[in-house]
Amino acid sequence: MNLFKGAAVQNIIKHKQAIMILRVYQCLFGFAVVCVTLFSFSFAQANERSAERRAELMTERMLDRQVLRAAAMAGRLSEEEAQKNSIILLERDALLSTERQLEKVLEARVLDRNAESNRDADIPTRPTPEEPDPESETNDSLGDGLGSFDPNGQTDTGDKSNDEVEEGTEQSEDALEEQLEDSFAEQDLNIAFSDLQFEQTLHAIENDTAVLKGIDEQRVWTNEWVIMADVDAKSALEKEGYEFSNEEHLESFGSIIASVKAPATYDLHNDYQLVMKKLDKHDAVLDLNHIYSNIYTNASEASDTSVDGISPGELLSLPGQGTKIGMVDTAINLEHSLLKDVMITQQHFTQDNQSPVFTHGTAVASVLSGKGPQYQGILKQVELFNASVFVEAKGSQSITTALSLLRGLNWLVQQDIKVINMSLAGPPNRLLEKGIEQLCQKGVIIVAAAGNEGPFSKPMYPAGYSCAVAVTAVDLNNKIYKKAVRGNHIDVAAYGVNILAAGQENSTIPQSGTSMAAPFVSAWIASQLPSQKEGIKWVELALDNCLDLGEEGFDPLYGKGLLPFEPGKLANAMPQQTSKAIL
């Protein structure tokens, strides 16, 4: 019995051991499953990261290759563009040279033909300073280099039918083409001249001839003739039968401006040159009331708003205490935040009392003396006198007239202003020229923006007058402003690209143009002028010390160079001597 019990106990013990061993195996198996699962998950993540990294590396290599290809392509395009530009410039220079030669040949032939036929209706020319016109005594009765011309000098077709007129026009064009071809052969120009270039040159010459024959009616306020003469000349002309109306006395010029009607024996249109000779004897000038545009509207001066402009005071800062500067511009917005603390006296001289416009004058005034939390004009203290002369025209353009300009200048001189800033452009006008010359003789300095009509534009006025200081614009790298007018009349360059100036509704925006450069010259001159005995002569000597840019010495892009931006040192170092007047 005991034996049986012992065997049963042993069996029970063995059974429990087997169960324990089984459970141990189960635990080990479960642990192995967990390990394998974790290993598989980690392996999958590692593979995923490796794949992502390989994809990133491939993308980077592709981008690098694309960048290299793009850079190579950009380099090739840049080289091709430079070559094209070089070819275009060479062709343009050749074309311009050929045009000048053709104009000289054509002009000489026309003069010879007119002399042979003994006709009095000469086509006037406008000689350059380098090449005076040999016929100036007959074509330029005023001796001012502008030429005297008949504003209605078009050929009278009389009672001819339209077919006859067109036939005559075609014959004239054919004769002109034959004349040019003969000129090529006779002058032996030896220039490769394509048919397209020939047509372009012919068209340009025809346009120039049309300009010389007539007046652009869009640039004239009215067809009424205006005379400028002193009291004695007016009395003498009245005795000869001239009739005056709308008279106005301009004290600063010592002259009267008035609408004029010639004696019954004369007609201002048909006998223009004869009338001019009569007026010349009495020191009087006659012209139409030409229109002048504000430079801001001629070529957009608003720069890219994404470009950070520079405050004028960072480029040139002057104390300006006791300084007075005159402006002939649009009206100034006296409520603009940059100008509330500036002393500004303003008078309106708009044509026919029309409402003035506000934009450009506000910007120019801010460049001269604006004040703001992060803005400073050139002059810390200055008194501005503004002659508001511009009115709004079609196409949001602001315009003025020669008479408005003369009225504004007359008022500024009465305020004892010695430096006047003019940022406007238009055609030559005998009335305005005579007025500016008289002011220069009185020691008034006219600073005029050269204009933004582009490098192929003719001189714009008043900057084109010999006694005005013509200002062009450069950027901070001393490169010429791309839209600036070039020419031998340019006197000095100043910074005028991306200059911060007052905008609309108290804004401040970067603006570019020659009218942004002119205030630098006006402020620079006005701040030192009171200490100089002979202002105009001093200005000439001062400009001789400009930083030379471009070609060595004077050149038609930069004039005498960049305005010296340390006026105090220059003023003290200036020699007290005289020199030939260039202003």
- Which tokens hold the place of 332? 């100034």
User: Would you say 201 and 99 are in contact if contact means Cβ atoms under 8 Å apart?
Assistant: yes
User: Would you say 146 and 429 are in contact if contact means Cβ atoms under 8 Å apart?
Assistant: no
Collapsing DSSP states into helix, strand and coil, what is residue 552?
Answer: coil
Residue of 455, 440, 402 whose CA lies nearest to 424: 402
- Tell me how far the alpha carbon of residue 52 is from its chain's centroid: 57
User: Would you say 266 and 142 are in contact if contact means Cβ atoms under 8 Å apart?
Assistant: no
- Which tokens hold the place of 426? 């238009």
Residue of 433, 428, 380, 389 whose CA lies nearest to 412: 389
User: Would you say 317 and 378 are in contact if contact means Cβ atoms under 8 Å apart?
Assistant: yes
Q: How many CB atoms lie within 10 A of CB 345?
A: 14
Residue of 434, 411, 551, 579 whose CA lies nearest to 488: 551
DSSP 302: B
Residue of 482, 377, 364 whose CA lies nearest to 423: 364
Show Cβ contacts of residue 447 under 8 Å, excluding neighbours closer than 6 positions: 419, 420, 421, 422, 468, 469, 471, 518, 521, 522, 525
Helices (H) and strands (E) in the chain, counts: 14, 18
CA–CA dist 22, 484 (Å, integer): 100
User: Would you say 152 and 269 are in contact if contact means Cβ atoms under 8 Å apart?
Assistant: yes
Block residue for tokens 């003498």: 236
- Which tokens hold the place of 50? 């490796």
Q: Which residues are known catalytic residues?
A: 329, 360, 515
**Which segments of 96-219 are extended strands (E)?**
none
CA–CA dist 22, 28 (Å, integer): 10
List, as one string, the DSSP characters of 379-445. Answer: BSS-EEEEEE--EE-GGG-EEEEHHHHHHHHHHHHHTT--EEEE-EEB---HHHHHHHHHHHHTT-E
Verify cis geometry, omega within 30 degrees of 0, for the bond prior to 134: no
User: Would you say 276 and 150 are in contact if contact means Cβ atoms under 8 Å apart?
Assistant: no
- Tell me how far the alpha carbon of residue 556 is from its chain's centroid: 15
Please count the CA atoms within 13 angstroms of the CA of 248 that sit on its side-chain side: 13
First to last CA, the chain: 148
CA–CA dist 151, 227 (Å, integer): 16
CA–CA dist 300, 135 (Å, integer): 40
